[in-house]
Structure 1
């Protein structure tokens, strides 16, 4: 395993069988990619593209049909690695009659944390996710946004190196979405590695360093957000404010009007544009997939 890789996936395939043992669905097909230490990695794709299946294999909840999968230097089926991993599912399965303190106390005990560690971590996380005002309320009284917050706190109780987030902003209002994205960026600043899947492309574009787009179980696009969205066919120049006359003559008389070029860059598309283009091209060219260079 490469020193800077937290996850290594090589030719990963998952085939679901029917009752009679016949091949029913090829959920993931020859997937290969790496996730680097300290990055926020976005896993995108329409429903049925293999995102959830891939995450479940990372967790060791499903076994691959073919291929190799290494997480934190260990095979994905080695459950001991999960002590260094945090997971927020799309729907948090929490005990509704416990409050925030009791919930984190329960999960802290699962990791054999001492009473002192549990209290310190509990207080730290409740403050981090902004639930100090509701820490004594039962979870059944929580809104969807509050439930996502305590779910994230639960995923972080063991101070994990790697965090897997499945639709972390699902059901949140704009303020809650902003707060969740700030928390994800804070995790990166602390040196954590984050893998998140989402249908909300603007959220992924705001926080992710690199993204992979899956379609029908195959990898179609992989790269940094900047390089994937930047248009190399055009250039744009940002200048100081110009008069209408100067704008009309800008190419020839920029210096004459005292304007300075502040930056020269390439215009970018949006992640939504890239996503839709990838899906349409995948429909038009079935079987074509992206193959990353995994030798370096």
Structure 2
């Protein structure tokens, strides 16, 4: 039996330490160490082949790690009691398409061990949650791809799990459907349910996640609260009326000048640590008698962070 990890049963919904998975001579996952708090929405990101799917399969008990240890809901990885409290939507799923939506959920309810009374109560609730009430008695084979995604989310929520693991839950949905899923994830968080979200749609992750982990080549390259990871430098554009000698040198004392665009009017692209520094740079320009026609700050997005980290890792591996 795995040793108990400090704090796992009270503090973390998921805790892993040094998880490693090897298939033959291929390392799919290397030293995965993460923590996921109870009731938070946790984003798990990475390029294709980064080890995300392997990690998810370990968490839900479908495969065993080659090395490392971890706990889910206070129980060792793969523990039966923990698995009963997990709702899971895999990225690639196929359902019994000859069943109706109601029949499919009833089957999964029996697999979860729900009583007939519990199934009668929960099936209409989850169908309403995912917007499929009117399609409940249609065969799944007649569902669009987006509707099949919704019935998949419904089965993941059927047994009122404490932890929901969603692998690309919005990949087949249109913008309205993605918004509905975002709202649903927020409602789950409001009820204290932990959501582990694996998605390549970074704007979706940025909109709902409290903390994220970015993995590349089987390793964690960034982990922390969304606000902290995105609180780095700002890119700022100064649009000026003129550019006297010495202006760039003076600005370089406050910001990192990256580019000068001379036409149609002088424009300086720079990086600044915060908005206060940008304000000081503007004061410097005005005091020097330089007309300032515009100042446009832009904070980096999750996509910017993701691309930079993955590219940096790729360059270091060459």
- Under a length normalisation based on structure 2, what TM-score does the superposition of the two structures give? 0.77
Matched residues in 2 for 1:269 and 1:145: separation? 31
Q: 1:160 to 1:88 in 2, by over 3 A?
A: same
Q: How does 1:1-296 map to 2 (within 5 A)?
A: 1=5, 2=7, 3-17=10-24, 24-232=25-233, 233-236=272-275, 268-286=299-317
SS at match of 1:285: helix
* 1:180 Cα deviation after fit: 1.0
Greater gyration radius: 2
Unaligned residue ranges in structure 1 (runs of 5+): 18-23, 238-247, 254-265, 288-296
Q: CA RMSD in A?
A: 2.0
Matched residues in 2 for 1:235 and 1:75: separation? 43
* 1:181 Cα deviation after fit: 1.0
Moved more, 59-68 or 107-116: 107-116
Q: 1:249 to 1:25 in 2, by over 3 A?
A: closer
Unaligned residue ranges in structure 2 (runs of 5+): 234-271, 277-281, 288-296
Instruction: Provide, for residues 149-169 of structure 1, a one-character-per-residue CA deviation record: whole Å limited to 9, x for no partner.
Output: 110110111100001000011
Instruction: Provide, for residues 14-54 of structure 1, a one-character-per-residue CA deviation record: whole Å limited to 9, x for no partner.
Output: 0101xxxxxx2101111111111111001100010000000
Matched residues in 2 for 1:55 and 1:249: separation? 51
Count how many residue pairs are aligned between Structure 1 and Structure 2.
259
Matched residues in 2 for 1:278 and 1:88: separation? 28
Matched residues in 2 for 1:114 and 1:76: separation? 27
Matched residues in 2 for 1:251 and 1:135: separation? 65
- Under a length normalisation based on structure 1, what TM-score does the superposition of the two structures give? 0.83
Please name the residue that 1:242 is paired with. Answer: none
SS at match of 1:113: coil
Instruction: Provide, for residues 108-152 of structure 1, a one-character-per-residue CA deviation record: whole Å limited to 9, x for no partner.
Output: 111222211111101111111111111111011111111111101
* 1:80 Cα deviation after fit: 2.7
